[in-house]
A and B are shown apart, each in its own frame.
Chain A
Amino acid sequence: MAFNFNWSPLTADSLFYARAKELLTTALNKSPKPPIIVDDILVNELNLGSIPPELEILEIGDLAEDRFRGIFKMCYSGDAFLTLKTRVQANPLNTYLSTKPSFTSPQPLAASSGLTIPLQITLSEIKLSAFIILVFSKQKGVTLVFRNDPLESLKVSSTFDSIPFVRDYLQNEIEGQLRLLLMEEVPAIIHRLSLRLWVPEYRAHGDEKENVMGALDGRGPIDPLVAPPQGAVDSSGNPVDMAGISPLSLDTISSDGQALFSQKNLLRLAALMDRQRSLSLFTPSIEGAVFRAWARASERGDAPGSNTPVTPTLSRTHSTVSSTSTIYTFPDASGSSNLPSRPYLMGLGSTTGLSMGSNRHSRAHTGRKKKTRVVNLRRGNISSDTKSVSEESTTSTTSSVPPSIKINETVSPPKILEEKDDGIVTPPRSPNSRVKFRDHQDGIDLGGSPPKSLSLTPARRTDSTRKVTDVGTQTPPELVLSKTGPSSISGAEKLRHPPFHLSHETHHPNSYLQEKPPPPSSSASSTFTTSPSLNLHYPTPLLQSLETTPVGILERALMMKMAGEIARRSQDEKSMENGFWAGSERDYPPPPAYESR
């Protein structure tokens, strides 16, 4: 992986310096100035120089198209310089008296009369050495924090260089101020600059603040999105605390709401969510949204070998077993066009999708393992799911299932949807909706589509909210494309999935062979025999989760009911599709069924 830091383009932008100067000036004048400075500090000249700082990547905690979190070590000894202009009080007695209570003032007659002198200070030969924590998110801009005091040394040259006392004083004073500036103000400045750069709403809002306010007055409750969204969630699904955000965006609260989520996109996302709960085939397209799947696919075009995202864990387990066959071929180029997004399965998909590639892919992506290192075992369901999945996978592996089939489940959902997924969809609910979907799809698709696509498409259908026709007609290779999506897994999912992978990996041998009795014959057989299709696998995890994990009574009852239904359906399906799949089974061994939840 490579990072491309452009140093000179920063300076090429003519507006950049003006903006930076302006921000720096306000920052310098914000904090209370020492009494010796009697005027505003003006940034006269600012030049970043031509020598870029040296950056050493120490750690990358999170990496995606629109977000990044990492720790750098930065060393800088370039030729940047900064010239400040201000006026200082040259009479030390005046400075001294202005800070003291008048009661004990010696009240000199004219000895304290002031003499203000214009002062020009040039800061150059700045040497920095710092550990930087950089967090970038398209929504929230760049957040940069220095972990230590970054300033190593700098040279202060001023009008008073000939007077050693004044020079030393200035040197000390400025170093102190600069430390403060670097530690406190620079992060704020960078954040604001980045907001202007990446968040169009912020920029627009900054320009037309007045208009917005006017609109607020006029429209009132008609436009709910002018006001801060009420149930706003951040990337990890936690409710957004407006109070916490306001200092970040440096604007009014109402603007926060707008800046955080584009109003238009919010509406579309809401529509997208609704589609998922209904049978509507219409999928609103979201303007300005870049799906990770797309970006990933296009990227892949450049470097075909390395781009198929593979979760190391899964790929490893399966690659050993599945060395026999990779049945689906996944052309990289075709995937770039349009990839259906399946929010629900996405979680699973990311992992499985990653594994879908052939063995070489897995190796190529071992670097990504880092991402999954963060394990979040918050939900009990996950463990149950993973167990069931592991069992499933064992079955599949035993039956020598190529990992490629798992690809089906890989999904590239719009990121915001994913976020909502985390918070909104409760475990018991998701199966329910899926079951419905499947029902519907079975009815429609099973008859018309070819067997392979049949088995695959239902799974996709259940999950995907968009372009059903696309999905339905998609051939396996295309499916692969859809699986390319995993690259775009949101941070939240990454958090969620790792446990899944890990547990999958670890449980794999044990759960099936030793601890667990073989799954109920019906479900097991159904999974095994039926096909790679997800729908079929569906029931098993549910059943197993029922048996294995303790759940709430309500959930349990619900799941019981559903499981019964699902079992019945799977039986039907099995009986119906058995003939179909009997031939293709050899080619496509059943994949493990993965549950996103």
Chain B
Amino acid sequence: MVHAKLFSFKDILDFPTPWGLRLSVSSLSSPNLATSYDLGSIGAVDGSLSYLYSSLPLETISKSAEIDLRDVVQGYRHLQELRRPDERRWWEVWRGGRRIDQRDTMLYGRMFLPRSSVEAMYVRRLSPTGQVKVFCVSDVRLKNGGTVLALYQRDVGKYSTELVYSTDEALAGIRGLYNFGPDPRKDNPLPNPSVERFYGRFSAGAELYYGAMNKSGGVSTGVRFTTLPAHNGIPLTTTLTINPLMGSLSATYAVKAGDSLALCSRFDFNVYSYESDLVVGCELWRRRRPTAPVTAEPSHSGNADAPQHHGGVGETAGILKARLNQNGSIGLLWEGRIKELLFCLGPRATSIIPHQPRESNVKTGSSFDLRRQGQPFRAIGVELQYSS
């Protein structure tokens, strides 16, 4: 569990809008191997080829016609109860007096064609509580031709830690998250949500980085409170992160106001420069009537667990995400499914090609600008996905 992800609200506030026309075809040819081809056009045509291998068979639904949108579109995230980590001995497999169990491994590689850069990822589960991740990028435009980021993650439920090392600037970092409350490793009495007004979990985390090459560092701390599924009110999450070095302060508040609506807001303030920012985002789910999917029912018969989760509500037909910041820039994203294609549609404000479309877009965060009269947005990005 990367605590950073738990704190951020990228999926509601900083969602990336698609860029140009992008088409990706992927297939899970065997439970262990998946391939994906990606073709995009932003002025020039580019594309990528990616492969994924997992020693642990992937049993998920991969067909884009059948996949549940909830699994591919991330929105408000419900945190689950902490789970007790597996015992080491549970993983042991013996045959003929010898251990034959192996650690699960995942390999992933992606090659971008015209710019000839390669991404690779290696993940290996070392123990029930620890895993190693290695990320590599090889690109001639980078300073040393590429970078490697290595992560060691340890999660015992009650707390989790992460060690980071990046070859760039020899950046080393450590980050941790501590969950207050009962320790999942011990036997606890079953929670009684009705007793507390807010049944949830309170967590605190911190991170520390130091770049040996440029002799610079970074620190931040954060606290979070989130309700757990057993909470019988409206689910909500609130966080506060502080960067004491840079004097920045960020507070978020997210609430799942209904079954198909989530709202989120974030307020940033810097005590040194007095810069501030306010972002408001929402996420709207469109559902099909439960009676409507009668025709679609047969196709879903194979996987009973997809509709079961929100059986009464109906199948998700699409998600609309919107955000607005104080500069008046609006971001819109519509994700849904047409026939067997998953699509993702969003307007764009600028036609300047950024270095990393997704990331930089997250930074600028503007999809189109209300203040630009007459031409609020210039282009619409479309992303189509098909998988079998």
Contacts and interface: CB of A to CB of B under 8 A. Distances in A.
A39 to B, nearest CB: 12
Given A96-B169, A96-B211, A117-B273, A110 B175 contact: no
Interface string B149-186: 10100000000000010101101010100000000000
B207 A90 contact: no
Interface string A103-114: 111111111111
A90 B147 contact: no
B215 interface: yes
Contact of A109 (B136, B149, B166, B175): B175
Nearest to A112: B218
B220 interface: yes
B29 interface: no
Given A91-B218, A100-B168, A111 B356 contact: no
A100 B358 CA distance: 13
A148 interface: no
Given A107-B4, A109-B241, A115-B272, A101 B220 contact: no
Contacts of A103: 119, 121, 135, 137
Given A102-B356, A104-B135, A105-B149, 14 more contacts: A91-B218, A93-B211, A96-B214, A100-B168, A101-B117, A103-B119, A104-B149, A107-B4, A108-B209, A108-B220, A109-B4, A111-B208, A115-B272, A165-B215
A115 B247 contact: yes
Interface of A: 90-93, 96, 98, 100-117, 165
A116 B137 CA distance: 29
A11 to B, nearest CB: 36
Contacts of A104: 135-137, 147-149, 166, 168
B273 A116 contact: yes
Contact of B216 (A93, A101, A102, A106): A93
Contacts of A116: 273, 275
23 contacts: A92-B211, A92-B214, A93-B211, A93-B218, A101-B117, A103-B119, A104-B136, A105-B359, A106-B166, A106-B173, A107-B2, A108-B175, A108-B207, A109-B3, A109-B7, A109-B205, A109-B220, A109-B222, A110-B221, A111-B173, A111-B208, A111-B218, A112-B218
A114 B270 CA distance: 9
A115 B270 contact: yes
A104 B136 CA distance: 6
A96 B170 CA distance: 11
A264 B285 CA distance: 71
A512 to B, nearest CB: 70
B243 interface: yes
Contacts of B54: none
B215 A113 contact: no
Contacts of A105: 149, 359
Contacts of A92: 211, 214, 216-218
A144 B6 CA distance: 59
Give the top 8 A-B pairs by smallest Cβ distance, nearest first.
Answer: A111-B218, A92-B216, A110-B220, A93-B218, A102-B359, A115-B246, A104-B149, A113-B248
B345 to A, nearest CB: 23
B241 A110 contact: yes
B219 interface: yes
A96 B147 CA distance: 13
B247 A108 contact: no
Interface string B1-16: 0111101100000000
A111 to B, nearest CB: 3
B272 A101 contact: no
Interface residues of B, number: 56
A106 B209 contact: yes
Contacts of B216: 92-93, 96
B173 to A, nearest CB: 6
B241 A101 contact: no
B66 interface: no
Contact of B149 (A91, A106, A114): A106
Given A93-B211, A109-B3, A101 B147 contact: yes
B142 A101 contact: yes
B209 A113 contact: no
A90 B216 CA distance: 11
Given A109-B4, A111-B218, A165-B215, A91 B246 contact: yes
Nearest to B121: A103
Scoring A98, A111, A112, A116 by chain B CB atoms within 10 A of each residue's CB, the highest score goes to A111
Contacts of B147: 100-101, 104
B38 interface: no
A109 B223 CA distance: 12
Interface in B28-64: none
A96 B213 CA distance: 11
Interface in B220-271: 220-222, 241-243, 245-248, 250, 268, 270
B139 interface: yes
A104 B117 CA distance: 13
B51 to A, nearest CB: 15
B123 to A, nearest CB: 14
A102 B169 contact: no
Contact of A108 (B4, B272, B273, B275): B4
Contacts of A110: 7, 207, 220-222, 241-243, 248, 250
Contacts of A165: 215
A113 B241 CA distance: 10
A591 B2 CA distance: 100
Contacts of A106: 149, 151, 164, 166, 171, 173, 209
Contacts of B3: 109
A347 B307 CA distance: 97
A34 to B, nearest CB: 13
Nearest to B363: A98
B38 to A, nearest CB: 14
A104 B221 CA distance: 22
Contacts of A117: 272-273
B273 A101 contact: no
A408 to B, nearest CB: 68
A104 B272 CA distance: 30
A47 B211 CA distance: 40
A322 B119 CA distance: 87
A114 B248 contact: yes
Contact of A93 (B139, B215, B217, B356): B217
Interface string B90-107: 000000000000000000
Contact of B207 (A98, A100, A109, A114): A109
A190 to B, nearest CB: 31
